[in-house]
Chain A
């Protein structure tokens, strides 16, 4: 790994370590705030907060180890450096970001709010169209035809398999 890459990794680990410490402390605080249920005969060993509290401590400790290791690897020096991913890194981030956005629109926005067939067919069609543009040199009409056929076939097959064969309700 190059010095720059290991520096970036160390910076990410430092931020990650601090986030884990905060998470562990929050879990511990939540555990300490839990009712001890002594009126029901609970002792320290059976209190609901015992195990989460121990896990919170473990996460905070491991987060500390991660942060300390990152500091030794020069993470502090990297903190001031500008955050500029490589062109490939930017492209990868954009692609997964778009995929995530489309998935969120489908699962949180469309499912349960629009008819299943409309929601699913629109999602599959949009997904193929968006990524096909950058990945293959097809013409727009051919691309749209492939996307439409896949969208309709997927919707029909999923509805058939889940509703008719497995007898479960669709969202």
Chain B
């Protein structure tokens, strides 16, 4: 306990330098702006910032990325409240009550609630991050090749199930991502797979260009589909959070913080599911559920606390299992690997201080959004009024230049463009991007552990199903797939209906 606090104090001291504080201020602002602008998401912001921070020391680069992440998730609430357009998918739930409050002339109060919910949500998630990471790290030490194989598959499938409207399309996207990860030389014999003689493909498709394409270019093309609606801002009151709102809704804050963090820990699910789940739980627990959707402070507080609590939650599996809890966390994981940080079960033994560094980064990011939440209202309104026809080409230039900067080769830019086009087409037909990205990130882990497991068991599949943790994960995967398949559900309905029909007859 005290060791942890001392380590945390040491981490805070590490980042309390003028340069680090400048990075906190700049990256929180960048995150806030990216999150607030409709069409630009936290994942896109993180991919762009990853390309721009390659030359920085790892701890500074990760500080920038975490501040951008927290800032972007919070920033989405601004456009949700002021424009009724979620800045990021995570803020969709905040639109319902946030904009309803704005229409009643209470936009300032709504922004204050969003600020207090986001700050407290991140803090609750941060406590869980500090508390759970060593515990989960301990548990992860029991994981072998079999468990890691199932965990990678579980992450892709659960992400496919929960992040899109159609699980079948989510699974297809996820498995396509797993396949993409296998392109290039495989790990055991360095055998070229699906490279078609292209030398550049032998090293595999670089992760960051693929992410920038799928989340950057594809999102920009989707954004350009629709003409930007005229920006009309309702008059607003003070944005300073009211202590009475926090005191009155403390149960909602605690509940949503726990739900958000827990959903963050589940691989590949992410902030939007956390916000909606917290919102639904608050509505169920509320004495005034009829007010939800019509300007409920309880609802807005729940959504904003839940999505921001998800951010530290999503980092927990990144640190302990090297498996991302959300799409932006997948980019964070990629950035860690690029910077030579090796997250995984051994992190608490090899680099325990790094875990507390990440907790301290979250704290600085929280301070960043609190300061900007209280001070930058008029600036954010100006930002929201910039036409998308000006923002989109600038972001596109950053996508191309940032991708090129990774290794100084145009092939990465072409990879980015290819994934952008593929991502745009897939999105247009309702395929979610999060499982695709998770598949690309987890493909290597899945393949290595499947082959390693088969070698260890001499080709026997039994250990994949008989070891306790493996058995539970395999059963979970089977249940997820079966219960989400329409044909199985239809069959189950037929079985459950048959006896009642007989009774009636």
Structural contact, B405 and A166, CB atoms closer than 8 A: yes
Given contacts A46-B454, A131-B389, contact A108 B414 (CB under 8 A): yes
Q: Is B393 an interface residue (CB 8 A)?
A: yes
Chain B positions 197-232 with a Cβ under 8 Å from a chain A Cβ? 217, 220-222, 224-228
Taking CB atoms, residues of chain A closer than 8 Å to B397 are 106, 120, 123-124, 154, 158
**Residue pair B175, A100 in contact (C-beta under 8 Å):** no
Judged by a CB distance under 8 angstroms, whether B251 is at the interface is: no
Q: How many residue-residue contacts, CB under 8 A, span A and B?
A: 175
Give CA–CA (A49, B473) in the complex, Å.
25
| A-contacting 9-mer, from B97-105, B182-190, B242-250 | B182-190
Q: Which residue of A lies closest to B413 (CB)?
A: A107
B29 in the interface (beta carbon within 8 A): no
Q: Is B447's CB under 8 angstroms from A51's CB?
A: yes
CA distance A52 to B181 in the complex (A): 10
Shortest Cβ distance from residue A140 to the other chain B in the assembled complex, whole angstroms: 15
Q: Does B477 contact A (CB under 8 A)?
A: no
Give the distance in Å from the alpha carbon of A44 to the alpha carbon of B294 in the complex. Answer: 61
Query: Does B126 sit within 8 A of A, measured CB to CB?
Result: no
Q: Which residue of B lies closest to A110 (CB)?
A: B400
Question: Is A115 interfacial (CB-CB < 8 Å)?
Answer: no
Given contacts A37-B189, A154-B397, A169-B408, contact A108 B417 (CB under 8 A): yes
Q: Of B16-24, B165-173, B297-305, B316-324, which stretch is located at the interface?
A: B165-173
The interface residues of chain A lying within 8 Å CB-to-CB of B394 are 124, 150, 154
Q: Does B390 contact A (CB under 8 A)?
A: yes
Q: A62–B413 contact, CB under 8 A?
A: no
B179 near A27 with CB under 8 A, answer yes
Contact B400 A106 (CB under 8 A): yes
Indicate whether A3 reaches chain B with its CB closer than 8 angstroms. no
**Residue B420 is within 8 A (CB to CB) of chain A in the complex:** yes
A34 is contacted by which of B188, B191, B405, B424 (Cβ under 8 Å)? B191
- Produce 1/0 per residue, A90-104, CB < 8 A to B: 011101101110111
Q: Mark A29-43, 1 if CB is under 8 A from B, else 0.
A: 010001101001011
> Shortest Cβ distance from B386 into chain A, in angstroms?
10
Cα of A23 to Cα of B220 in the assembled complex, Å: 27
Q: Mark A43-85, 1 if CB is under 8 A from B, else 0.
A: 1111011111001101100110110010000000000000000
Given the known A-B contacts A51-B446, A58-B175, A96-B221, are A136 and B387 also in contact in the complex, defined by CB atoms under 8 Å?
yes
Chain A residue numbers with a CB within 8 Å of B220 are 99, 103
A10 vs B371: C-alpha distance when bound (angstroms): 49
Q: Are B169 and A135 in contact (CB under 8 A)?
A: no
Q: Which residues on A sit within 8 Å (CB–CB) of B54? A: 166, 168
- CB contact under 8 A between A135 and B175, given known A37-B191, A51-B450, A170-B401: no
Shortest CB distance B124–A (Å)? 35
For the complex formed, measure the closest distance between the CB of B457 and the CB atoms of chain A, giving whole angstroms. Answer: 9
Are B405 and A168 in contact (CB-based, < 8 A)? yes
Query: What are 26 residue pairs bridging A and B, where the CB atoms are less than 8 Å apart in the complex?
Result: A12-B429, A13-B429, A20-B172, A27-B179, A27-B194, A30-B193, A34-B193, A42-B188, A44-B459, A46-B188, A46-B454, A48-B186, A50-B450, A51-B451, A52-B179, A59-B176, A59-B179, A66-B169, A98-B224, A108-B417, A111-B404, A120-B397, A134-B227, A150-B390, A158-B401, A166-B405
Q: List the 9 closest pairs (A to B, CB-CB), nearest first.
A: A45-B454, A127-B393, A99-B224, A131-B389, A92-B225, A168-B405, A48-B191, A51-B447, A171-B404
Residues of A in contact with B (beta carbons under 8 Å apart): 9, 12-13, 16, 20, 23, 27, 30, 34-35, 37, 40, 42-46, 48-52, 55-56, 58-59, 62-63, 65-66, 69, 91-93, 95-96, 98-100, 102-104, 106-108, 111-112, 120, 123-124, 127-128, 131-132, 134-136, 146, 150, 154, 158, 161-162, 166-171
